């Protein structure tokens, strides 16, 4: 059974940090790019960050550049999103997704993703 399970969300004060994790099972993570997306209340889902299957290419939304960092450990079947200097506007449900790698289409925004997790809530509030 294919699964992506996010964890690490929670309530954090502005300026704080969180580390989100996404653990994959049921498929070979090494062949897939992984993306983090978020959906804020009343807004459309947007891409946050994407990392290629071999970790050699990353993409970040302008709104998170310099504050978020994506990484992956294929041996642990895990992908991480380190979030720092969090702002109120980072409040959202964060999802990870997997897409079979095709470097010509990286970072795959606007394309279908193969698998999705259920999401983890991040709330930035004082």
Question: Over pLDDT 90: what percentage of the chain?
Answer: 90
- Res 54: pLDDT: 83
Whether residue 62 is predicted with pLDDT greater than 80 in this model: the reply is: yes
Size of the chain, expressed as the number of residues it contains: 126
Is residue 48 helix, strand or coil?
strand
- Res 5: pLDDT: 97
- Mean pLDDT is lowest, of 52-56, 88-92, 108-112, for 52-56
Q: Residue 49: how many CA atoms within 13 Å on its side-chain side?
A: 23
């Amino acid at each position: 059974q294919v699964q992506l399970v996010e964890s690490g969300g929670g309530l954090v004060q502005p300026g704080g940090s969180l580390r989100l994790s996404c653990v994959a099972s049921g498929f070979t993570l090494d062949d897939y790019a992984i993306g983090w997306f978020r959906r804020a209340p009343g807004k459309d889902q947007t891409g946050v960050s994407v990392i290629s299957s071999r970790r050699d290419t990353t993409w970040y939304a302008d709104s998170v550049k310099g504050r978020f960092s994506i990484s992956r450990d294929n041996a642990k079947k895990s992908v991480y999103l380190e979030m720092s200097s969090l702002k109120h506007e980072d409040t959202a449900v964060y999802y990870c997704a997997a897409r079979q790698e095709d470097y010509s289409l990286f970072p795959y925004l606007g394309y279908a993703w193969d698998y999705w997790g259920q999401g983890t809530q991040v709330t930035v509030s004082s």
